[in-house]
A = this chain, B = another copy of it.
Amino acid sequence: MAQSWGSFFYSLLDYKTEKFMIAKNKKVGVIFRLFQLGVIGYLIGWVFLWKKGYQEREEAIQSSVFTKLKGVAFTNSTDLGIQVWGAEDYVIPSQGDRVFFIVTNYLETPNQRLGFCAEVNTRKMQKVILHGHKLNRSLKLSSTDTGTCEIHGWCPVEHSHTPSKPLLGKSENFTIYIKNFIRFPKFDFSKSNVLSTTNKTYLKTCYYNKDHNPYCPIFRIGDVVHWTGHNFQEMAVKGGSIGVVINWSCDLDKDYSKCNPEYSFTRLDASKDSTNSVTSGYNFRFARYYRDADERTYRSLYKVYGIRFDIMVNGQAGKFNIIPTVVNIGSGLALLGAVSVTCQLTVKLLLFFLLASYFFLFFVSHFTANHFSSHFLREKLGLFC
């Protein structure tokens, strides 16, 4: 008894194989081999070579971006005199963030004080009175005037004539220095876009260029706008938004020095073929508050137009790891194995429909006898599958 149970469990280790009937159908055979070749090609070509299935992937890149702008611009207007714009003025916010805005054009309304004045005519139809509290009385500035609302607010009210030529047109020559540190936490790999081979002298003289200086982290603003397919002087009038994508696609099985950033530039606020002028442009207002000698508040209101830069960092890294390798080989072999089963099934279905349609026509025209039963059909199919 004990011995027979032992031999039973031992016999579980027998490897059972099937006895095949070889149907010498060359067409089906060719199709079957092609299927297998397709699967092997898919596994080696797509899964292993293209998708690097033998690597563990890391998509969650940790990134820190710090930007610094350089350049000085002068504006000279009859109203306001000479003004100097340094990076501390034209970069908003000034702390060197991933997303920043540079002023290219502006409209200043100096020395506003709280009081009563006339709302600007062109704005009076809007939903929201813009500049202050609307009073019930209205001012008639002349006999032909349709009536301008008087408001209580900051006076004089901003007039809405945007300069048609960018006042800071020279900002084309400003430079952006982008420091980007990345880290792939899964592999404890970190790198900077300022390569460690870079020396200080190189950083002081280089400008980024896709072909000649692909790893220089200093970008001329005019060039960046040009690479998006737009013109700086046109864009500077009403402003816009530019995306700078830094892509880190690293194969960590290779050398440390092979993992390098790639930069690309797109305009985010307008497609090139867009005629939708409602949506392009970028402006906002801010105010600087002062107190006069009597400690009363007055302010200068700035409406600034400019370009917003949004630096986006993408990245993925891969490194050889035994688990994804085994899983991918395993599921690849499973797929390969399943092909033979699938092939049977497909061939069966195809032949069934072919034979069925053939016999259906045959039946309808010639037979009424009962002896041509489905057993014959099954026998016929059995020959092939």
Contact = CB atoms under 8 A, between A and B. Distances in A.
Contacts of A361: none
Interface string A279-299: 100101111111111010000
A310 to B, nearest CB: 6
A99 B67 CA distance: 14
Nearest to A306: B95
A20 B12 CA distance: 13
Nearest to A12: B33
A25 interface: yes
A66 B269 contact: yes
A72 B130 CA distance: 6
Contact of A4 (B185, B190, B370): B370
Nearest to A243: B62
A152 B89 CA distance: 16
A287 B278 CA distance: 34
A4 B314 CA distance: 59
A19 B17 contact: no
B338 A341 contact: yes
A345 to B, nearest CB: 6
A17 B25 CA distance: 11
Nearest to A287: B88
A321 to B, nearest CB: 13
A97 interface: yes
A156 B286 CA distance: 27
Given A94-B285, A269-B66, A284-B95, A339 B334 contact: yes
A370 to B, nearest CB: 6
A123 to B, nearest CB: 11
A12 to B, nearest CB: 7
Contacts of A314: 60
Interface stretch (A140-148, A161-169, A193-201, A208-216): A193-201
A97 B94 contact: no
Given A204-B127, A337-B341, A21 B18 contact: yes
A120 interface: no
14 contacts: A4-B374, A5-B374, A7-B373, A15-B28, A18-B344, A62-B243, A82-B114, A88-B287, A89-B287, A96-B284, A196-B275, A333-B338, A334-B342, A337-B339
